[in-house]
Amino acid sequence: MSVSTINAGDFIAQHQQENITIIDLRTAAETESECLGNCLSLPVQELDKDSFAKTLTEAGYQQGPIYLLCQSGRRAQMAVDKLQNEADYELVIIEGGLNACKENGIRLQGSGRKVMSLERQVRIAAGFLVVLGVVLGSMLAPAFYALSAFVGAGLMFAGITDTCGMAMMLAAMPWNKASKGKKNCSI
């Protein structure tokens, strides 16, 4: 497997000139909300060697580089890490992800449905659990402070390892799923 990166400006120029394979690694709800046209949708939390191969086969992939797209580039790197030593493809990470593409003027398609980003959902859930632990600890029993400590430890672990268990759980929630039958991002 070979891995390289491309900046958003160069990717946009290539995207406009060639028929390329792009896999959007964001949640199904995020891709339904806004995406590049003709992307394959495969959320990083569902990614493994088999799902990757199946997605490519169903799309009629023949050969050539596979561009990995997410919101900022972090999930694309996670995908590369998951596929390391598992697949023999030429993977290209789009630096800065969809955010960088938008800054460079790429046109997106969208459903008009507003979706809260997964990162924002994690911040809200973590903040809520910390406040809940403090309130319950001061009103009911000091043992509830452990909830705040647990969330803090989880955030530290997420920062150190660049994996977030809370994000993985939130990604599996019904509001982060796309409409039935939605597999590719051509709204």
Q: Which residues are catalytic?
A: 70
The C-alpha atoms of residue 60 and residue 57 are separated, in whole angstroms, by: 5
SS3 track for 66-85? EEEECCCCHHHHHHHHHHCC
The C-alpha atoms of residue 18 and residue 4 are separated, in whole angstroms, by: 18
The C-alpha atoms of residue 3 and residue 80 are separated, in whole angstroms, by: 8
3-state SS class at 36: coil
Return the residue matching tokens 């955030």.
155
3-state SS class at 65: coil
Cβ distance 26 to 68 under 8 Å? no
For helices 118-139 and 145-161, give the axis angle rounded to 10 degrees. 150
